[in-house]
């Protein structure tokens, strides 16, 4: 491990030079927190006061959210997203090892997100991520814990660098200034803990807490307010029909669409937790396109297709499937589909036997194909890519969620249909280009298909057309032997496939 002793602080923008809040204000914030909660974070007062505290949380939560646009920057910046994933993983791991409270975990991640949102334009290097992670965890422990771990104890995870105490302390000051010295934050755990109150049972709060901690790893959750995340978690993890849910629904009557969207995402996390004992890989699909899609899923070899191999996704909707370790298969998007009540029909692109559920059948080209082979329990490395070998129909990307720093994003995020050679075009009945054939599919020669005498890496070389596709989509396969720049190796258990991903 490298020993780092950096005198310079990460962020020196003018916005960090603002004056901190007064000591009196800081004392008031801390006094409120201490008065309301006991050592375990459980509210002791009666129902009326509990509702008053809830209203106070609701008023204050906006003061402890990341800067506007942070969620969008996480969407478009792979570097920022990877930095956050590594930092959140560290915070959860170190807090679990040190047996600190869940409140400390959520506070630390809150400090992290607020700080990253202020420094989102930086190019984050590993040492920077590790230093900020340690500093946020340290500040959260100092603020809430009775027994504060040493800076040495905070550096016993699998870190690539170690830092001298003075370096961490300087970073803590930088974080404190950036956060305007406001550490008594309101988090999703604050709301959930409050709402469960005296009616909760041990298993119930454990389930909600595990769900909320698991959701911290998901950058998709950053766009939601803490109260909405708590509401959604309670709806997912409890059977409460009155009290908690009733009160929350009243508060969020104008935000129920956000609650429903957040609940859908949290249900995928809950499913992952419920299936954790068996082990496996979760793949989340997001449709960012302005049209409906019908994803197709095919298991390769003897692997079955999850979710019957096909389903519908409306614009901006999310779906997921889970597969065992070692599963391999393909995912693609179908567009312009029409199916009857029996699931029979056809699509403009990506057809699989003219049926909604592909049930193991592959796609009719042209399709942008996502290919993956997941690691096993003995060999955890996974391999995935986005391939244009079968042509193109919809922009798509694949990346790890909640870990895998260093894993690349595979994808073709540009609409190749707008620059498709005319003889390669596939058009809909109204004349719109909806697909672009590969050179192999259009010209059908050994040279372009890497077959016959061109059937090896030594004889099959990039062609004019593969160069064209590669120049536009450098992270996707452009021909059969394009492995060096297109195949991604990663170690993670959750992955995100995005159709029509935002441009990076």
Q: What is the pLDDT of residue 435?
A: 94
When mean pLDDT is compared across 125-134, 147-156, 180-189, 454-463, the lowest value belongs to 454-463
CA dihedral 138, 144, 149, 154 (to 10 degrees): -30
Q: Are strands 433-436 and 425-427 parallel, antiparallel or unpaired?
A: antiparallel
When mean pLDDT is compared across 77-91, 250-264, 487-501, the lowest value belongs to 250-264
Residue 233 in this model has a pLDDT that exceeds 50: yes
Nearest to 64 by CA among 15, 88, 29, 23: 29
How far apart, in Å, are the Cα atoms of 487 and each of 207, 370, 394, 405? Answer: 38, 11, 19, 16
Q: Which residues are bridge partners to 489 per DSSP?
A: 383
The most confident of 27-41, 198-212, 465-479, by mean pLDDT: 465-479
Residue 14 in this model has a pLDDT that exceeds 70: no
Q: What is the pLDDT of residue 66?
A: 92
Nearest to 244 by CA among 61, 54, 56: 54
pLDDT confidence band for 198 (50 / 70 / 90): low
What backbone phi and psi angles, to 5 degrees, belong to 369?
-110, 130
Q: What is the pLDDT of residue 44?
A: 47
Q: What is the pLDDT of residue 26?
A: 33
SS3 373: strand
Burial classification of residue 150, based on how many CB atoms lie within 10 Å of its CB (0-12 exposed, 13-18 middle, 19 or more buried)? exposed
Residue 303 in this model has a pLDDT that exceeds 50: yes
HSE-CB for 383 with a 13 A CA cutoff: 11
| Distance of alpha carbon 235 from alpha carbon 264, whole angstroms | 10
pLDDT confidence band for 331 (50 / 70 / 90): very high
How many residues comprise the chain? Answer: 504
What's the CA angle centered on 70, arms 333 and 237, to 5 degrees? 70
How far apart, in Å, are the Cα atoms of 77 and each of 70, 111, 219, 310, 399? Answer: 10, 20, 11, 30, 12
Q: What percent of the chain has pLDDT over 90?
A: 31
| Other Cβ atoms closer than 10 A to 312 | 15
Asked if 473 and 412 touch (Cβ cutoff 8 Å), the reply is yes
SS3 238: coil
What's the CA angle centered on 360, arms 359 and 365, to 5 degrees? 110
Nearest to 310 by CA among 282, 284, 333: 333
Average pLDDT value for residue range 217-230? 87
> 46 or 78: which carries more pLDDT confidence?
78
Q: Are strands 396-400 and 494-499 parallel, antiparallel or unpaired?
A: antiparallel
Mean pLDDT value across the chain: 81
SS3 123: coil
Helix H segments across 367-495? 439-443, 446-449, 464-472
Asked if 313 and 293 touch (Cβ cutoff 8 Å), the reply is yes
| Other Cβ atoms closer than 10 A to 130 | 22
What's the CA angle centered on 46, arms 44 and 47, to 5 degrees? 125
Q: What is the pLDDT of residue 492?
A: 83
pLDDT confidence band for 9 (50 / 70 / 90): very low
pLDDT in tens, 74-128: 877 778 888 888 899 889 888 888 888 899 999 999 999 999 999 888 888 889 9
Task: Please give the model's pTM, rounded to 2 decimal places.
Answer: 0.56
Q: What is the pLDDT of residue 493?
A: 82
| Other Cβ atoms closer than 10 A to 336 | 19
What does the DSSP 8-state code read for residue 501? P
pLDDT in tens, 381-414: 899 999 998 899 999 999 988 655 557 889 999 9
Asked if 54 and 195 touch (Cβ cutoff 8 Å), the reply is yes
SS3 380: coil
374: region left, alpha or beta (phi > 0 left; psi from -120 to 50 alpha): beta
| Distance of alpha carbon 309 from alpha carbon 497, whole angstroms | 15
The most confident of 39-48, 178-187, 231-240, 443-452, by mean pLDDT: 178-187
| Distance of alpha carbon 352 from alpha carbon 355, whole angstroms | 6
| Distance of alpha carbon 260 from alpha carbon 253, whole angstroms | 12
Burial classification of residue 373, based on how many CB atoms lie within 10 Å of its CB (0-12 exposed, 13-18 middle, 19 or more buried)? middle
| Distance of alpha carbon 265 from alpha carbon 219, whole angstroms | 11
Average pLDDT value for residue range 27-35? 30
| Distance of alpha carbon 393 from alpha carbon 403, whole angstroms | 29
SS3 367: coil
SS3 281: strand
């Amino acid at each position: 491990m490298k020993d780092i002793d950096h005198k310079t602080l990460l962020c020196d923008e003018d916005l960090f030079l603002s004056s901190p809040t007064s000591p009196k204000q800081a004392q008031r914030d801390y006094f409120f927190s201490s008065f309301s909660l006991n050592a375990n974070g459980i509210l002791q007062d009666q129902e009326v006061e509990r509702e008053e505290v809830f209203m106070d949380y609701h008023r204050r939560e906006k003061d402890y959210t990341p800067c506007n646009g942070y969620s969008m920057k996480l969407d478009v910046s792979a570097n920022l997203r990877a930095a956050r994933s590594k930092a959140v993983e560290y915070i959860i791991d170190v807090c679990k090892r040190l047996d600190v409270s869940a409140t400390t975990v959520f506070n630390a991640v809150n400090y992290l997100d607020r700080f990253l949102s202020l420094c989102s334009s930086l190019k984050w290097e590993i040492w920077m991520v590790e230093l900020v992670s340690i500093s946020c965890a340290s500040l959260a422990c100092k603020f809430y814990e009775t027994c504060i771990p040493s800076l040495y104890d905070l550096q016993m995870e699998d870190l690539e660098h170690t830092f001298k105490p003075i370096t961490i302390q300087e970073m803590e000051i930088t974080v404190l200034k950036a956060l305007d010295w406001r550490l008594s934050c309101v988090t999703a755990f604050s709301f959930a803990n409050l709402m469960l109150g005296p009616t909760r049972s041990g298993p119930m709060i454990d389930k909600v807490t595990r769900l909320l901690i698991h959701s911290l790893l998901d950058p998709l959750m950053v766009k939601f307010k803490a109260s909405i995340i708590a509401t959604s978690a309670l709806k997912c993890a409890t059977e409460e029909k009155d009290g908690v849910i009733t009160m929350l629904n009243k508060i969020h009557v104008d935000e129920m669409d956000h609650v429903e969207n957040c609940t859908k995402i949290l249900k995928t996390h809950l499913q992952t937790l419920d299936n954790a004992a068996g082990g496996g890989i979760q793949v989340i699909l997001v449709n960012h396109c302005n049209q409906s899609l019908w994803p197709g899923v095919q298991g390769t070899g003897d692997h079955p297709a999850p979710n019957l191999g096909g389903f519908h996704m409306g614009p901006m909707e999310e779906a997921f499937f889970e597969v065992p370790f070692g599963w391999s298969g393909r995912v693609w998007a179908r567009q312009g589909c029409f199916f009857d009540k029996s699931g029979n029909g056809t699509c403009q692109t990506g057809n699989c036997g003219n049926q909604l559920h592909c049930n193991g059948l592959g796609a009719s080209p042209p399709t942008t194909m996502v290919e993956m082979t997941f690691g096993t329990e003995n060999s955890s490395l996974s391999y995935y890519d986005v391939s244009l070998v079968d042509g193109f129909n919809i922009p798509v990307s694949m990346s790890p969620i909640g870990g895998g720093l260093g894993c690349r994003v595979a994808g073709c995020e540009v609409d190749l249909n707008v620059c498709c050679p005319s003889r390669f075009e596939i058009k809909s009945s109204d004349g719109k280009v909806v697909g672009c054939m590969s050179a192999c599919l259009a010209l059908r020669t050994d040279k372009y298909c890497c077959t016959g005498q061109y059937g090896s890496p030594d004889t099959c070389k990039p062609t004019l057309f593969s160069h064209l596709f590669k120049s536009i989509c450098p992270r996707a396969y452009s021909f059969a032997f394009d492995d060096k720049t297109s195949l991604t190796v990663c170690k993670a258990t959750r992955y995100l496939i995005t159709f029509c991903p935002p441009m990076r």
